[in-house]
Amino acid sequence: MKNFIALLATILFYTVSFAQDKPAPINRSNPGPTEERLTESDKFLKRAGTLIEKRFYYIGKTRAIAFEVIKLKDLNSNDYYSALSLESKDITGLREGKAVLDEDEVDGFLKTLKLLQSVVKTQRDTYSEVTYKSRGYFTAGAYYDEKRLRWKPFVQLLNYSDKTWIPIDDTVIGEMIVLVENAKIEMKKEM
Distance CA 135, CA 137 (A): 6
Q: Which domains does the chain have, with CATH numbers?
A: 35-188 (3.30.2450.30)
CB-based contacts of 23: which residues, under 8 Å, 6+ apart?
Answer: none
The one-letter amino acid code at 70 reads I
Span 46-80, pLDDT tens digits: 888 889 999 999 999 998 899 999 999 999 999 98
Instruction: Give the pLDDT band (50/70/90) at residue 42.
Output: confident
CB-based contacts of 71: which residues, under 8 Å, 6+ apart?
Answer: 54, 55, 56, 57, 80, 81, 82, 187, 191
What is the structure's pLDDT at 84? 96
Span 112-126, pLDDT tens digits: 999 999 999 999 999
Among residues 172, 162, 111, 169, which one has the least CA distance to residue 137? Answer: 162
Whether residue 91 has pLDDT greater than 90: no
Mean of per-residue pLDDT scores for the chain: 82
In this prediction, residues 42-47 reach a mean pLDDT of: 87
What is the structure's pLDDT at 24? 39
Instruction: Give the pLDDT band (50/70/90) at residue 3.
Output: low
What is the structure's pLDDT at 175? 96
Whether residue 2 has pLDDT greater than 90: no
Using DSSP bridges, classify how beta strands 165-167 and 150-156 pair: parallel, antiparallel or unpaired.
antiparallel
DSSP assignments along 56-112, one per residue: EEEEEE-SS-EEEEEEEEETTT--EEEEEEEEE--TTSSS-EEEEEEHHHHHHHHHH
Instruction: Give the pLDDT band (50/70/90) at residue 177.
Output: very high
Contact yes or no for 66/80 (Cβ under 8 A): no
Contact yes or no for 85/144 (Cβ under 8 A): no
Answer with the residue of higher pLDDT: 31 or 43: 43
Distance CA 168, CA 46 (A): 33
Q: What 3-state DSSP class applies to 122? A: coil
pTM metric for this prediction: 0.76
